[in-house]
Structure 1
Amino acid sequence: MSSNEIINIIGIGARTTIGATAPLTASAVRAGINCFAEHPYMIDKIGEPMIVAMDNELSEELLGIERFLQLATPAAQEALTPLKQSNPNITLIIGLPPKRIGLPAHLATEIAQQLPNKIKCTFDQIKTIAGGHASALLAIEQAIQIIQQNPAQLCLIGGVDSYLQPETLEWLDYNQHLHSTANRYGFIPGEAAGFCLLASQQTVHQLSLKPLAQILAVASTQEKNCINTDTVCIGEGLSAAFSNVFQTLKPSNRQIEQIFCDLNGERYRADEYGFSVLRTREFFVDPGKFMAPADCWGDVGAATGALLINLITTAAAKGYAQGELSLLWASSESGERSAALLQAQPLIKE
């Protein structure tokens, strides 16, 4: 990869139920902390309180677009911190959940209009991607194209999601997604936001920035056998995404040392990963050793990709990473499958 093709991650921001910032979130995940608790008033279909991962700093009465904005604003601001002054050449790409019951009306339009004002930043271009779990990785694909066409451009990419709208929780329960006494293979609904600031090698040098990681490859495909259908998923979409990013490894015969993913307790996702690993086993040091932080922050939907990147960069910076080469992947309910390879150099030794 030439210097003109290198895309650097230069800023990270997070707001989760286990941490108000990126460092706090990563530390909580490393310690295995979660904030799962009974919802103040939502009851599942067998009459028990729903277990959720709720941001305790936000009132349960705060719903709709304002809740999404309260989550997204501090995460986006934190990711922009490395810029010492405003930069006119920034594109904002926001990942959002796909259409579902309980989702605020006109979410994409309102977020795109209001978030720049909230974070007090001007963007020359704003895009939204309603791609669910894979949104941030889909956004990275777009950002790479933008930066390679104009190396002076920066891209702020990320996602925000909240399953805690009452109608959404009822919908999850009805469709057997909600983890409960009656459904051990469901997931804990969560809420979060995560953002990453991306820049070319040229911009890194010009602005004297310190890269946290480099994106070696990213790929997205579509799974035709989606969850909640009568079809059987054998991991064809995710396998294709893996194979595409692994093309980068073939000349060097390197193997994946760290895996970060959005497995959330649903058997569909576990089976999908198992099939995909069987097809690509030679690229992994140990495919059974992976980090699935949904057991700490719950399922965070469209926020997933950027939050996984935070775990990778923090592990490298603090010196507890298992290696320099990391795979992260995410699977959306609507069929999008995305994977990315990151190279993170340790910056600090503990």
Structure 2
Amino acid sequence: MTAPARIVAVAARTPIGLTAESSAASARARLSRLATHPFMVDGLGQPLICARDGLLDEALPGPARLTALAGAALEEVVFKLAVLGEMRQPPKVLLALPETRPGFSEDDATKVVEGLGTLLRPSKASPRFEVAGRGHAGALHALSVATQRIRQGAEDLCIVLGVDGYLEADTLDWLAAHRQLAGEGVRTGFFPGEAAGALAVARASVQERSGLPLLASLRGTGTAVEARGIQGDAEVLGEGLSQAILEAATGLRLPEERLDAVYCDINGERYRTEEWGFAVLRTQQLLRDSAYISSVDCWGEVGAASGALSCVLATQSWVRGYASGPRALVWGSSEGGLRAAAVLEAGPPSRREP
């Protein structure tokens, strides 16, 4: 028998909160940390408007900065699991990191993994790390991997951890050169941010035996590759995103189980808005409403952390009782072409797999 995967703990470190609960509450209140950076500038040499972690040294360099953010989220989720006694063996941590770009190399990715590997040692619960996704869709792809391994019996519990940040001089220059950095003369750019989010995903039997909270059931996940890239000249049609969403929603009983909310990484870039518009045309039978929830105006553009943080927002809406309904779609689009989606459901799953 296979069992559904369930989200049993969440964590976050964002410019608007030090935990999952405080970050979600601040996002709901539309609190924003967008402000002028003390010394960084945008593509025109003007003071950079961004959202940054107020507790980190402004001069802390890239890999160390991401390690600090991810480490905070990892420690939070591990603490929540340990308090409830479900850390008897080292968990598998599936990482979502930035795609390779100016200011973040493969060597930097290795440094982040190595840095995280030292955080919980010599604890018996020291995690096992694996990079399972890159870019905006990375955490949701990692969630798909975690779900598959849990269903196959390879893992009982996995931690999905996404982290990203754009506050690196080479990265900002690259964004400005591609007219992605918000500022004078750029109509569809974004304000950079930095954050990390984490999800603990467990087998149903583990959740029930241990008494871990059931924050959400994973009704489905989907991934695809989009050939019409964000940086390309081809017209966006949303084909890859549509494919990922339809795959994630395969198990829904329609129309009664249509999706009540949509969480995504739309950040002001025209490509992402148009991609969602075309995807809606192909998937509208799944949606009660095509409106979406994005918190980039609160914590800035957070790249590979966005999928995990979207799941945090969805689960907290159910925990706190302000959700519009019991099912949510979360999706993300990486610049390299990866598209990923997940369907989450509050409370006990509406049906068990045979």
- TM tier, smaller: over 0.9
| Residue correspondence of structure 1 range 101-112 to structure 2 within 5 A | 101-103=102-104, 106-112=107-113
1:11 alignment partner, SS class: strand
1:158 positional shift: 1.6
Residue equivalent to 2:33: 35
1:326 alignment partner, SS class: strand
For the residues of structure 2 that align with 1:90 and 1:38, how far apart are their CA atoms? 39
Q: CA RMSD in A?
A: 1.7
* 2:329 maps to amino acid: L
Q: Which runs of 4+ in 1 moved over 3 A?
A: 119-125, 250-253
For the residues of structure 1 that align with 2:68 and 2:113, how far apart are their CA atoms? 14
For the residues of structure 1 that align with 2:16 and 2:193, how far apart are their CA atoms? 11
For the residues of structure 2 that align with 1:76 and 1:126, how far apart are their CA atoms? 12
Residue equivalent to 1:99: 100
2:81 alignment partner, SS class: coil
1:202 positional shift: 1.2
* 1:337 maps to amino acid: R
1:226 aligns with 2:229: yes
For the residues of structure 2 that align with 1:104 and 1:64, how far apart are their CA atoms? 10
For the residues of structure 2 that align with 1:145 and 1:227, how far apart are their CA atoms? 29
| 1:214 paired residue among 200, 213, 217 | 217
1:221 positional shift: 0.2
1:105 positional shift: 5.3
For the residues of structure 2 that align with 1:341 and 1:305, how far apart are their CA atoms? 12
Give structure 2 stretches of 5+ with no counterpart. 349-354
For the structure 1 residues 105 and 278, does the alpha-carbon distance in structure 2 shift closer, same or farther, using more than 3 Å as the test? closer
1:91 positional shift: 0.7
* 1:309 maps to amino acid: C
For the residues of structure 1 that align with 2:24 and 2:155, how far apart are their CA atoms? 30
For the residues of structure 2 that align with 1:155 and 1:306, how far apart are their CA atoms? 13
Residue equivalent to 1:193: 196
Residue equivalent to 1:68: 66
For the residues of structure 2 that align with 1:105 and 1:217, how far apart are their CA atoms? 31
Report how many residues are paired: 343
Alignment check: 8 A CA contact 2:139 2:160 kept:
yes
Q: Residue deviations 1:79-136, cap 9 Å, x none?
A: 1213334321511111001110011552332222221321345456421135101111
Task: State the identity as a percent.
Answer: 37
For the residues of structure 1 that align with 2:275 and 2:147, how far apart are their CA atoms? 27
Give structure 1 stretches of 5+ with no counterpart. none
Alignment check: 8 A CA contact 2:222 2:247 kept:
yes
Residue equivalent to 2:292: 290
| 1:141 paired residue among 129, 135, 144 | 144
Q: Residue deviations 1:262-318, cap 9 Å, x none?
A: 00000100000000001111111111x210111111110111111111111111011
For the residues of structure 2 that align with 1:341 and 1:324, how far apart are their CA atoms? 11
Alignment check: 8 A CA contact 1:6 1:200 kept:
yes
1:247 aligns with 2:250: yes
Residue equivalent to 2:77: 79
For the structure 1 residues 284 and 251, does the alpha-carbon distance in structure 2 shift closer, same or farther, using more than 3 Å as the test? closer
TM-score by length of 1: 0.93
1:106 alignment partner, SS class: helix
For the residues of structure 1 that align with 2:91 and 2:206, how far apart are their CA atoms? 12
1:118 alignment partner, SS class: coil
Task: Answer with 77-86 or 266-275: which moved more.
Answer: 77-86
Alignment check: 8 A CA contact 1:95 1:130 kept:
yes
1:209 positional shift: 1.4
| 2:57 paired residue among 56, 59, 82 | 59
Residue equivalent to 2:46: 48
TM-score by length of 2: 0.92
* 1:9 maps to amino acid: I
2:211 alignment partner, SS class: coil
For the structure 1 residues 135 and 105, does the alpha-carbon distance in structure 2 shift closer, same or farther, using more than 3 Å as the test? closer
For the residues of structure 2 that align with 1:183 and 1:44, how far apart are their CA atoms? 11
For the residues of structure 1 that align with 2:254 and 2:268, how far apart are their CA atoms? 35
For the residues of structure 2 that align with 1:190 and 1:152, how far apart are their CA atoms? 33
Q: Residue deviations 1:203-236, cap 9 Å, x none?
A: 1122221211111100000000001111111101
1:119 alignment partner, SS class: coil
* 2:112 maps to amino acid: I
For the residues of structure 2 that align with 1:62 and 1:243, how far apart are their CA atoms? 41
1:253 positional shift: 4.1
Task: Answer with 229-238 or 76-85: which moved more.
Answer: 76-85
